[in-house]
Structure 1
Amino acid sequence: MKAAVTVHRDFVIAPIDHRLYSSFLEHLGRAVYSGIYEPGHPTADEQGFRRDVMELVKGIDTPYVRYPGGNFVSAYNWEDGVGPREERPVRLDLAWRTRESNQLGTNEFIDWCRKVGTEPMLAVNLGSRGLDAARNFLEYCNHPGGSYWSDLRKKHGWAEPHNVKLWCLGNEMDGPWQVGHMTARQYGKIANETAKAMRAFDPSLELVVCGSSNPDMPTYPQWEADVLDECYDAADHISLHMYFTNYEHNTAEYLAIPERVDRYIVTIGGVIDYIKAKKRSKKQLTISFDEWNVWYHTRLQDKETMAAQDWPEAPPVLEDIYDFEDVLQVGCILNTFIRRSDRVKIACIAQLVNVIAPIMTERGGRAWRQTIYYPLQNASLHGRGKALRLAVDVGTYDASIADDVPYLDVAGVENAEGGVTLFAVNRHQTEALDLSVALEGYAGLRLAEHVLIKHDDLRAKNTADNPDNVVPKAHSGTGVEDGRLAATLPPLSYSMIRLSA
């Protein structure tokens, strides 16, 4: 099957915000305890952070990490996680029916962020608490000193302010499962007042308000319209969440899901524009897609387990083991974010370690990269610059989610040096794609590398004993001549093709 693509250097969608490749850590399962933090582990540093995990996190160069939740944050008292560890209370977490020791809290998390070269994206509790706790939390984190909360931070051993600039105002407040769930109007008013109070402290903060937990919510997309009607000018971003499933093991349907993600983004972009026009506002809100990932491998079993568990501490739950098919899905989703980078400025894969994550660990033992680590790494390292608007001519197929799903899913990025990177997924299950790319407006581009991820078994996984079962490999036969790239993309494969200036 033939696939023709035209790339033109003047056809730019938008600059790509580097925060598109961010991630998420919640006090859930083993994401924190035996994930990033495990005192006594052979690789643990002086603060108890696992050095082996830190190196794997550095490998994907994640710009921001959202913390501490997630559903967890909606009944979380941030004060429980600061001060001397021996004085911190053990609490029952209502979101996941577990016991929280609070041995890792805000200050330690921010220290970890600095060590791995990322920035914190903190969430405030607007479920069981509200404006007052949020403003105190902000003062504790960001004020230099001379006030009650900032001096308390200094007393706890952190003399310098953390200067956290990106804050989430609650989490999934549209969900009936959420502690403190409320209507859109109720939430919009609380978010607006909280934002005003936080901006009274620092008008330069970036604030994310809660959008829909997924596009199947009965309140979607009216939720976004009502929330933004209450707080449009006080916010900077509205969040979207979505997880991707393949319970039926239908590859064609599974790989069509990005078409629905695209509609989700376009729809909420339209809601933003509607409210902006309604309010005669000059401000342009954007989207923070701050929870996304494949999540179905253990979801149903773990739902039953968590409902029956008797408040364990850091139990092994939601530990999906990803396969090669998930590489294709994650590659397509990342391509969708690149193509919609005019709307989506932040995206957080959920989560980072152990819990539906690209990185897995053993308690007291090994750490390794899951299959989905690699498309995320490729996009994060080489998908920064300007998103290019590509013209694509390729065959299509119909799915229940959408008609005319293209067999080639592709995104293009021009980097700061003038090079071009293409991220391409061949969705066809039996045919290779003979790819021809016209490089218009570019002179002297040469092939730097063609990296391919391909496995004959869709269910192939990486494990502690076989960590390199699904990995990127150099692909031959690709070349550039007379301003045209030619390549062959095997069926059901992921490619990154880098062209240097």
Structure 2
Amino acid sequence: MKAQVTAHARYTIGDIDKRLYGSFLEHLGRAVYTGIYEPGHPTADENGMRQDVLDLVRNLNTPICRYPGGNFVSAYNWEDGIGRKSDRPTRLDLAWRTAESNQVGIHEFADWAKAAETEMMLAVNLGSRGLDAARNFVEYVNHPGGSYWSDLRRKNGQADPWNVTLWCLGNEMDGPWQVGHKTAAEYGHLANETAKALRAFDDKLELVVCGSSHSDMPTYPQWEATVLEETYDQVDYISLHMYFENYEKKTSEFLALPEKLDRYIGTVSGVIDYVKAKKRSKKTVRISFDEWNVWYHERRSDAKRMKQWDWPHAPVLLEDVYNFEDVLQVGCILNTFIRRADVVRIACIAQLVNVIAPIMTAPGGAAWRQTIYYPFQFASNHGRGTALRLDVDCPRYDADVAADVSYLDIAGVHDADSGTLTFFAINRYGEEAMTIDLSIEGFGKARNVEHTLIKNDDLEASNTKEAPDTVTPIKIDGAKISDKGVEVTIPPYSYSMIRIKL
């Protein structure tokens, strides 16, 4: 199979916000406890944070981390997580039917984020609480001193404010499963009033309003229209979420799902344009895709198990073991975000550790990379710069979710600072290799090319504690440089990163 791809220096999508490669940690299962935080672990620092996990997180180069939820935040009292740990209450978390010890709160998470070299993206509770708790939380986090909440922070050991700029106004408020679920009109009004209060404190904050939890919600896309009409003047981003499933075990259908993701982004972008025009506004709201991942391996069984347990603390929950097929899917998702980088400015993989995550840990033991760690790491480290509008000529197939799906999923990025072109290419065809004739125009000639491949003949191959390197990237030769660009061959069902030094 052959594909022709042309990249031209003049045909660009836009600059890529580094926060496109954000992450997410929720008080859910073992994401926090025995995930990032495990006092007594051989690698734990003085704050109880696992250094082996921190090393893996830093290598992902993820610039932001959304916290503390997720569904958890909609019944969370942030005040429970401050002050002496011995005085903190244990609460019942209604979202995941677990007990929350509150041994990790804003102070501990802030220290962890600094060590992980990532910025905080904080969420406020607009489910069981509202405006007052939100403004108090922002004051506690961001005010230097001389007020009740800022002085309490200083008393609790943090003299300087954390100056968090990015704030989520609740989570998935369109979902009937959410504690404090509201209609679009109810939520839009509350979010707008909360945003106004937060802007009265600091008009430079970046605020994210809740969009649809997924594109199959019965209220989508009217939810976006109603909420944005209420909040457009006060917010900067609208939040979208999507998870990818393969219960039927049909690889070609599974790998076509990013077409649905692309339509989702395009539709909400159109709603933004509609509200912008209706309001005669010069401002453009962008998209924060702050929950996304493959999620189905343990989802149904754990949903049944969760209903039967008696409020455990940090149980094993939603710990999907990812396989090689999921590498291909995560690569396609990231490529979609790169190709929509003008609209999607923020995105957060959900989640970071143990719970549907690229990093896994054993309590008291090892930490290792899941298969999906690698495509995220490659995109985060090398997908910075300008997203390119590629011309792709390749055989296509029809799937249930979309017609005319290209067998080659590819995104390109130009990093002018390093003088490189990077292409992330997924061969969605399982029967034969694909030779890509990659033309580069207006960039100068290719000086050398580096081809990194992730490939396993077993789509179900996974990385485990016992065999953590079953699926890993390798460097391969064979790319040919010509006057027009590069020719490279990628195996069937494979992920490739092709880096061209100009």
Deviations 1:16-57 (A, max 9, x none): 000000000000000000000000000000000000000000
Please state how far the C-alpha of 1:456 moved relative to its aligned partner: 0.5
Shift of 1:484: 1.8
Does residue 22 of structure 2 align to residue 22 of structure 1?
A: yes
Distance in 2 between residues matched to 1:332 and 1:285, nearest whole Å: 25
Quote the residue 1:490 is aligned against.
491
What letter matches 2:496 in structure 1? S
Say whether 1:126 aligns with 2:126: yes
Q: Which amino acid is 2:75 matched to?
A: A
Is 1:458 aligned with 2:448? Answer: no
The percent of aligned pairs where both chains have the same amino acid is: 68
| Distance in 1 (alpha carbons) for counterparts of 2:418 and 2:336 | 23
SS at match of 2:328: helix
1:476, CA displacement in angstroms?
A: 1.5
Q: State the Cα RMSD in Å.
A: 0.6
Q: Which residue of 2 aligns with 1:307?
A: 307
The 8 Å contact of residues 443 and 483 in structure 1, kept in 2 or not, is answered as: no
Of 476-485 and 59-68, more deviation after overlay is shown by 476-485
1:72-83 counterparts in 2 under 5 A?
72-83=72-83
2:143 aligned with 1:138, yes or no?
no
Cα distance in 1 between the residues matched to 2:87 and 2:283: 45
Question: What is the DSSP-based 3-state SS (H/G/I as helix, E as strand, rest coil) of the residue aligned with 1:233?
Answer: coil
C-alpha deviation, 1:465, in angstroms: 1.0
| SS of equivalent to 2:232 | helix
Larger CA deviation: 411-420 vs 320-329? 411-420
Residue aligning to 1:289:
289
Please state how far the C-alpha of 1:483 moved relative to its aligned partner: 2.5
Contiguous gaps of at least 5 residues in structure 2: none
1:204 aligns with 2:204: yes
- State how far apart, in whole Å, the 2-side matches of 1:384 and 1:260 are: 24
- Provide the rounded CA distance (Å) in 2 between the counterparts of 1:446 and 1:51: 39
Determine if contact 1:419/1:445 at 8 Å carries over to the other structure.
no
- Asked if 1:178 is matched to 2:187, the reply is no
Supply the AA of the counterpart residue of 1:443. G
SS of equivalent to 1:477: coil
Q: Secondary structure of the equivalent of 1:234?
A: coil
- Asked if structure 1 preserves the Cα contact closer than 8 Å seen for 2:445 and 2:485, the reply is no
CA–CA distance in structure 1, aligned partners of residues 282 and 199 of structure 2: 18
CA contact (8 A) 1:447 1:479 kept: no
In the alignment, residue 424 of structure 2 is paired with which amino acid?
Answer: F
Distance 1:327 1:21 in 2: 16
- Residue 151 of structure 1 corresponds to 151
- CA distances 1:180-220 after superposition (whole Å, capped 9, x unpaired): 00000110010000000000010000000000000010000
Whole-angstrom CA distance in 2 between matches of 1:24 and 1:397: 34
> Which position in structure 2 is the counterpart of 1:391?
391
The match for 1:442 is: 443
Q: Give the counterpart letter for 1:275 in structure 2.
A: V
Show the counterpart of 1:232: 232
Deviations 1:143-194 (A, max 9, x none): 0000000000000000110100000000000000000000001100100000
Contact map agreement 2:339 2:411 (CA 8 A) in 1: yes
What do the CA deviations read for 1:405-446 (whole angstroms, capped 9, x no partner)? 000000000013331000000000101111001110021322
Asked whether the 8 Å contact 1:442–1:483 carries over to 2, the reply is no
Letter paired with 2:196: K
Q: Secondary structure at the match of 1:14?
A: strand
Structure 1 segments of 4 or more deviating over 4 A? none
Aligned residue number for residue 371 of structure 1: 371
- Unaligned runs of at least 5 residues, structure 1: none
Structure 1 residue 292: Cα displacement? 0.2
Aligned length: 501
- Secondary structure in structure 1 of the residue aligned to 2:347: strand
CA contact (8 A) 2:446 2:486 kept: no
Q: Distance in 2 between matches of 1:132 and 1:434?
A: 59
- TM alignment of 1:403-442, pairs within 5 A: 403-415=403-415, 416-442=417-443
